[in-house]
Amino acid sequence: MATAAPRIGDTKVPMSLLEKGAYINYQRIEDNLAIVRDRLNRPLSLAEKIVYGHLDDPHGQDIQRGVSYLKLRPDRVACQDATAQMALLQFMSAGMDTAAVPTTVHCDHLIEAQIGGVKDLARAIDINKEVYDFLATATAKYGLGFWKPGSGIIHQIILENYAFPGGMMIGTDSHTPNAGGLGMVACGVGGADAVDVMAGLPWELKCPKVIGVNLTGKISGWTTPKDVILKVAGILTVKGGTGAIVEYKGPGVESLSCTGMATICNMGAEIGATTSMFPFNSRMSNYLNATKRGDIAKYAQQFAHNLKADEGAEYDQHIEINLSELEPHINGPFTPDLATPLSKFAEEVKKNNWPEELKVALIGSCTNSSYEDMSRSVSIVKEASAHGLDVKSKFTITPGSEQVRATIERDGHIAAFENVGGLVLANACGPCIGQWDRQDVKKGEANSIITSYNRNFTGRNDANPATHAFVASPDVVTAMAFGGSLTFNPMTDSLIGSDGKPFTFSEPRGDELPPRGYDPGQDTFQPPPTDRASVSVAVDPKSDRLQLLHPFAPWDGKTPTDLPILIKVSGKCTTDHISAGGPWLKYRGHLENISQNCLIGAINAENNTANKVKNQMTGEYGGVPQTAAYYRDHGIKWVVVGDHNYGEGSSREHAALEPRFLGGLAIIVRSFARIHETNLKKQGMLALTFANPEDYEKVKPSDRVDILGLDSFAPGKNLTLVLRHEDGSKEEVPLAHSFNEGQIAWFKAGSALNLVIFF
């Protein structure tokens, strides 16, 4: 009797030691690729293999790099605490009792650095109690993993516990690509995408182009993995990776540690890349073994043929980097793609008049907080200490996770940092996301800081637009803390020890992995309880930070007539104009409160003023959100008219939720930024464009409008906008749209989520 050939899927390996019953699905990749190879008939890059291996419909999907939109089935979802609030509230309103894929929530963004890890954490737990309570109970109720405040930064926790070669993950944070260090396609998304995947809907992604970075030579000395991405950022600039996956390859890869590869992928977000990734190799196996995931390493080995590019795979762009010749770099200020080799940096500092004194040196963050990073920094610290030196600049250390913190504490590294004047902060984002109560300079005072973080746009770390923030490896940052000046080159310049003798730093050395194994530290993980039915989600009805959501009403089937124009927007209207950040961020979990910022930054074409529009019912002028709420509360739907590229900027879903919540029906513009257009559709709004962009000029802010054709709403079929001018005259203009059948169903149901709830 013939026996069936063994299949890769016959072996069941859990995605994570922390989750039961969720297994790595290499069989799907194998099966999908068999179909896709047949169709494309060409060698595939690694990125293509993993992306196409997660296609929802490998037979029918149109696959053209940079052109088609793919529907994908990610393996898992990760959310950080700031973005998780609205994502969970939306998911809850879908009425499902568990997420369709394994999902975790991480408390890392809301902890402000002030005086040191322990006290800062205690204060954050107090201030953010209701948010943490909500996240803890909502995750428990819906079967998600919850990482408590103090557990660490989302991307380190993912690398330590959840990332695996060949997996696909989306995360509501832009540095989700960190998991590419373990061979995962991991992409940062807005909350709306996360909710879709949690609710069992496919995730849509423009078929990525692939940029190949061939690494040759060997990394050594002062050069670190961080310098690879600092160099790549200099080559590609902040926009160069847009719409592409950066795929690293070549013999040089073997000289990088797994956490070093994660650093490179992490900061790939700074070049706008969809994600970055590495092929599976022995360094990944070492890391998986060290984090007690030897079974995954073995399984990936069996699947290794699909965890690397095919011979002859073609790339849309190619970059060559010889690691043996790569110099350490320092990037900045104010942008992460201004790359300067260390040997030229002092000259640039003087030439550009950047403040020479180095005020603060900060190491850690999700980008550079591995055991290897910390142990290399400690080698520098110990050498300086042996010469009797303390740091000249302020020096902070952010461990990426409780596991790293406990391990470096056990191994004496924390004591070594503190011994030279270092301040160890909480295992959290802290100064990297501006959660920094910085006291040493006044707002507006020009000064320099250097970090091992990833992003250095104006004001990001300390809200001071005059702070010149530079980015470098933790090695360079640490050494410069002793030099105290931006012009200090630790490779060549000497310092004077306490004995009065000059010395030059030796090359940093460190351990890729802790020789005595990782110390897990305190248990900061809350798995879903067995009895989830009895959990009630903690949302205080009086809270001003959290509010439960109610499903939006379905379309009433009527032709909309006589609608007022809430605002005719003139010029640029980004998601920041539609839903401002800053002080509003604390209301991210409260739709009613955050809606008070709806379109307050948009310029009214009628009076060239922001947040001053005429209420067409009362004739009075008022704020945009107040006027919208008036219409809604009087049963009147309204529209917004906008210019080109409406909704560009970050993909925040609040910019689509707010107009919907305030009773808007349609946003009619010359053109949309694509993600915002999709977000509007997901919330049940009509996202429409003038078929002739010049028709925007025909609209008068005081017009009333009808939208004709919704009774036969169909893909590719124009609608008609009737403009009823104040003087009694009437004009009709054609409206185009990009709704497909599925998206029309979202509109009719009231939102994409309503389809899951009601149908």
Catalytic-labelled residue, pool 54, 93, 106, 108: 108
Phi, psi dihedral angles at 189 (to 5 degrees): -140, 170
Shortest distance, CB of residue 429 to ligand SF4, whole angstroms? Answer: 3
Cβ proximity of 145 and 104 under 8 Å: yes
Beta carbon nearer to ligand SF4, 175 or 226: 175
Q: Which of 630, 648, 650, 646 is nearest to 638 (CA)?
A: 630
| Residues engaged in binding ligand SF4 (CB under 6 A) | 108, 153-155, 173, 175, 365-366, 429, 432-433, 453-454
Helices 191-198, 674-682: crossing angle, 10 deg rounding: 50
Beta carbon nearer to ligand SF4, 160 or 695: 160
Shortest distance, CB of residue 191 to ligand SF4, whole angstroms? Answer: 15
**Could you tell me the two tokens for 433?**
């996301």
Catalytic-labelled residue, pool 73, 109, 293, 676: 109
Catalytic-labelled residue, pool 73, 405, 455, 577: 455
Beta carbon nearer to ligand SF4, 153 or 662: 153
Looking at the DSSP bridge assignments, the partners of residue 722 are 706, 732
For CA atoms 77, 80, 85, 86, the dihedral sign is: negative
Shortest distance, CB of residue 89 to ligand SF4, whole angstroms? Answer: 21
**Could you tell me the two tokens for 234?**
């200099």
Residue 109 known to be catalytic: yes
Catalytic-labelled residue, pool 485, 650, 671, 702: 650
Shortest distance, CB of residue 673 to ligand SF4, whole angstroms? Answer: 22
Residue 42 known to be catalytic: no
Beta carbon nearer to ligand SF4, 182 or 710: 182
Residue 108 known to be catalytic: yes
Q: Which of 731, 708, 730 is nearest to 719 (CA)?
A: 708
Catalytic-labelled residue, pool 293, 460, 652, 724: 652
Element (H, E) at 28: helix 26-40
Shortest distance, CB of residue 153 to ligand SF4, whole angstroms? Answer: 5
Is 22 buried (19+), middle (13-18) or exposed (0-12) by CB count in 10 A?
Answer: middle
SS3 119: helix
Residue 724 known to be catalytic: no
**Which amino acid is present at 44?**
L
CA distance 1 to 8: 22
Shortest distance, CB of residue 404 to ligand SF4, whole angstroms? Answer: 13
**Could you tell me the two tokens for 551?**
């499903």
Shortest distance, CB of residue 499 to ligand SF4, whole angstroms? Answer: 39
Beta carbon nearer to ligand SF4, 108 or 677: 108
Residue 455 known to be catalytic: yes
Residue 595 known to be catalytic: no
Backbone torsion region of residue 492, taken as left when φ is above 0, otherwise alpha when ψ lies between -120 and 50, otherwise beta: alpha
Q: Which of 190, 88, 97, 141 is nearest to 548 (CA)?
A: 88
The secondary structure of 329-361 as a DSSP string is EEE-SBSTT-EEEHHHHHHHHHHHT---BEEEE
Beta carbon nearer to ligand SF4, 331 or 678: 331
Beta carbon nearer to ligand SF4, 153 or 423: 153
CA distance 318 to 32: 27
Q: Which residues are catalytic?
A: 108-109, 173, 455, 650, 652
